[in-house]
A and B are shown apart, each in its own frame.
Chain A
Amino acid sequence: MTTTAAPAGGARNGAGPEWGGFEENIQGGGSAVIDMENMDDTSGSSFEDMGELHQRLREEEVDADAADAAAAEEEDGEFLGMKGFKGQLSRQVADQMWQAGKRQASRAFSLYANIDILRPYFDVEPVQVRSRLLESMIPIKMVNFPQKIAGELYGPLMLVFTLVAILLHGMKTSDTIIREGTLMGTAIGTCFGYWLGVSSFIYFLAYLCNAQITMLQMLALLGYGLFGHCIVLFITYNIHLHALFYLFWLLVGGLSTLRMVAVLVSRTVGPTQRLLLCGTLAALHMLFLLYLHFAYHKVVEGILDTLEGPNIPPIQRVPRDIPAVLAAARLPTTILNATAKAVAVTLQSH
């Protein structure tokens, strides 16, 4: 078969490939019918035909530079007897450039935007998730060799969303009015910001302290550590007792922090590094729980007051100025406004 196959850059003498010129229709499709009315009548040299054929042979490569076509044309001097394609050459070349570009873009897209990249991190069974949730509360004492961290993202992601829902529940309980518009944004921003930001920060510190942990493992570890936060907040947003909160903060928050600290200690060498890494993580984790509780504490206390005291909305609202329309009823608006403000001040002082 080598005798009939034509080399890519050389001259052609066989009957096969150059008749392929008829394959490509003027309209750019793979039609076998040539629409004669669209053929350009300007007769050009047949060098352009050669350029076209070289282009088609190079279709497998990404290079669709028109300059190459021009260079290839000049190399060949063979007369093929096909006239009339000159006017269509530029369109053909543009078409091929477009197709090559499109192919490259779709290849890049399918490579990077493919969600299958994340698929192995979601390959879990419900039993595994449940056991990992429970284990995240149990600190393991073995720190002599690296403890195993499951590198999955389903559990952490679901825990972050649960924390968002619990935060919303806590915020809505206070029936905030003015801050209503940014509730969802605040909750999502806080939880995801903590998860991603603190993971990155601890990963950076781990890199400095030469700890054996990857980013995925850090994300998974911190994500599962939020399980304790979810439990504490769920309970204390419904039962508003300070002492109860502090107890749970120490107990449940402490347990999950100890677990994360033990895992990190088992993967770090050197007392200074261990102290730095684990101290930072413990501080951030415990303080986050404290922040989540107290950020909405005032509003929660406001609810308790309203349930016992007079019917005042928890967020003090500035009384509206009575519009000047009522001036038509011959009531001076300034006096009305002052009265309204005085009433509000009286109510507030309760």
Chain B
Amino acid sequence: MAEAEESPGDPGTASSRPLFAGLSDISISQDIPVEGEITIPMKSRIREFDSSTLNESVRNTIMRDLKAVGKKFMHVLYPRKSNTLLRDWDLWGPLILCVTLALMLQRDSVDSEKDGGPQFAEVFVIVWFGAVTITLNSKLLGGNISFFQSLCVLGYCILPLTVALLICRLVLLADPGPVNFMVRLFVVIVMFAWSIVASTAFLADSQPPNRRALAVYPVFLFYFVISWMILTFTPQ
């Protein structure tokens, strides 16, 4: 090797070495890959764009989304530790549930016209801002779940409470009394527990193990508020 022959101990030769003397030693090593990407200008690229889901019929799109929502409903009703809700999250289910809940919690008496509006907005705001707050809290506690995944799980786990609301409305068709109230209380408590178990089954894995209680408590408060709204609902 040329460098070895030129002794570094010789001070004179280092400065008097002719320019480019070391160039003969330089070679491009073979293991540096020379590669790149030739991008074609935009105009022709647009024509190639694959509109994969844009061309299908509306019915296909709706059925596909409904099937996804239905599958997730099944996962909520029979909670097992699975990743379906987390992996392909979507917000259709939470929206449907939230709108159903809000519509049914409206009092349908003509007298309280101005209460009909705020009822709907109240439920909507509680559900969505509550879910956002819980998500932020779980992220700040060190959870590794994304924002929309958490919104998706919390929204889908409102399903048992919506079922409870339907049952309560049916029960309220009978004559009011303490038995009526006890039945409704029992149903709401069971569904409340079901919601918490379902959401914990999905969310627990994303939290550090020693802080699960800290992350579950706001979920408990959230579903408690919704359950309370359902329990104290009396159609006039």
Interface residues of A (CB under 8 A from B): 25-27, 29-33, 35, 38, 115, 118-119, 121-126, 129, 154, 157-158, 161-162, 165, 168-169, 172-173, 175, 177-178, 180-185, 317, 320
Contacts and interface: CB of A to CB of B under 8 A. Distances in A.
Contacts of B142: 119, 122-123
A178 B112 contact: yes
Interface stretch (B27-35, B61-69, B79-87, B133-141): B133-141
Interface residues of B, number: 39
Contacts of A158: 217-218, 221
A154 B138 CA distance: 11
A33 B210 contact: no
B118 interface: yes
A320 B225 CA distance: 32
Nearest to B41: A35
B140 A119 contact: yes
Contacts of A33: 38-41
B122 A35 contact: no
Contacts of A30: 39
Contact of A126 (B43, B139, B213, B225): B213
B108 interface: no
B125 interface: yes
16 contacts: A27-B41, A29-B39, A38-B41, A115-B140, A122-B141, A123-B142, A126-B213, A154-B140, A154-B214, A161-B221, A175-B232, A175-B234, A180-B118, A183-B122, A184-B126, A185-B122
Interface in B185-236: 210-211, 213-214, 217-218, 221, 224-225, 228-229, 232, 234, 236
Contact of B115 (A25, A162, A169, A178): A178
Contacts of B210: 125-126
A115 B43 contact: no
B41 A181 contact: no
A38 B43 CA distance: 10
A118 to B, nearest CB: 6
Given A33-B39, A177-B112, A320-B111, A122 B137 contact: yes
B118 to A, nearest CB: 3
Nearest to A153: B140
